[in-house]
Structure 1
Amino acid sequence: MTDQNHRSNRGFASMDQDKQRAIAAKGGRAAHASGNAHEFSPDEARAAGRKGGEAISRDRQHMAAIGREGGHARHANARQQQQQIEHGAEDPQPQQG
């Protein structure tokens, strides 16, 4: 059995954040220099977002669940505002969500 309280000095996760950040930055610069890093243009990003949106909107059960959740949230907010008015709250604040 291994000692559960012993922390290893090996690996990326055991390093302090500054050292991790320095190594990651070095890797990012190397990827850009070698041409392996890819940055999406606005048109590429738009096309990717459209493709993802079309794919998810085909899942009718998922879309129904999203709509149902929004309806429940709207109803709960309206009920809360009504209760604040009935109980004499002077300036009911709309819920952010």
Structure 2
Amino acid sequence: MAKKEGSAMTVAEAGRIGGRLVSEKYGSAFYEKIGKKGGSSTAEKYGPEFFGKIGRKGGKAVTEKYGSGHFERIGRKGGQKVAELIERAKSLDSTERAG
């Protein structure tokens, strides 16, 4: 975002600084709390089926952008990562038992 002549910072820069200050002051739990509050308000206002509707809309946009195999690829990648983590935990557990 370009700076306007005579302005000290862009809106994006101001937002980033403000977000960092809020994070330092209130911590990550603050964002979790306001996120849950916003989600509850949205569900109350639009109904729980609203989330399904926006999820489908987002999924469609992702499919259009990355192709129909995208979710399959990221699912496989996630499954492989979980399997690696399980194996690593098992090896750590057996090392602790031996030592």
TM-score interval, smaller chain: 0.3 to 0.5
User: Which has a greater percent of helix?
Assistant: 2
Larger CA Rg, structure 1 vs 2: 1
Say which structure, 1 or 2, has more relative contact order (CA 8 Å, 6+ apart).
1
TM-score (norm 2): 0.40
TM-score (norm 1): 0.40
